[in-house]
Amino acid sequence: MNIRDKRGFTLVELLIVMVIIGMLAALVYPRLTSKVSKGKQSAAKAQIALLGQALDQFKLETGRYPTTSEGLNALAVNPGITNWDGPYLKKAVPNDPWGRPYHYESPGSHGDYDLFTYGADGTAGGEDENQDIGSWE
């Protein structure tokens, strides 16, 4: 029996296939990660909008927004306010898409309240996926 009669792949053929797969992965991966980061930014904007609606409902019933010290937890648990008729959220206050709590200040520097996240890097400023996202935008 001749060695060339055996069926199978040679090492060179396997290496060529692995190089091709590596090149395809190098082309696809950056595009995929940018979609994920844009999805997280969109999710943060949607969560901020929903939390803003809950804050507005809180103000309608109590006559004011929660203070900075009461924070967003005042939407879920009565902080001792007479006209509180919550909870104003169906679930617990969510973290931002990067797993950190949203920042809430009332009164805010952009309006009655500021509700924001610092983005992927968790620090003020930044661009792209590190861009801050706030209720005033």
pLDDT of residue 137: 81
Whether residue 117 lies inside any domain: the answer is yes
Overall number of domains in the chain: 1
Report the candidate in 126, 70, 134, 125 with the shortest Cα–Cα distance to residue 102.
Answer: 134
CATH of residue 68: 3.30.700.10
pLDDT in tens, 63-92: 999 999 999 999 999 988 888 988 999 899
Give the tokens for residue 61: 């019933």
What is this structure's pTM? 0.72
Whether residue 69 lies inside any domain: the answer is yes
Whether the Cβ atoms of residue 116 and residue 134 lie closer than 8 Å to each other: yes
Mean pLDDT of the 5-32 span: 82
Whether residue 121 lies inside any domain: the answer is yes
Whether residue 67 lies inside any domain: the answer is yes
Whether residue 15 lies inside any domain: the answer is no
Range of the domain at 109: 39-134
Q: How many whole angstroms separate alpha carbon 91 and alpha carbon 116?
A: 19
Task: Please give the mean pLDDT across all residues of the chain.
Answer: 87
Whether residue 86 lies inside any domain: the answer is yes
What's the DSSP call for residue 17? H
pLDDT in tens, 37-62: 788 888 999 999 999 999 999 999 99
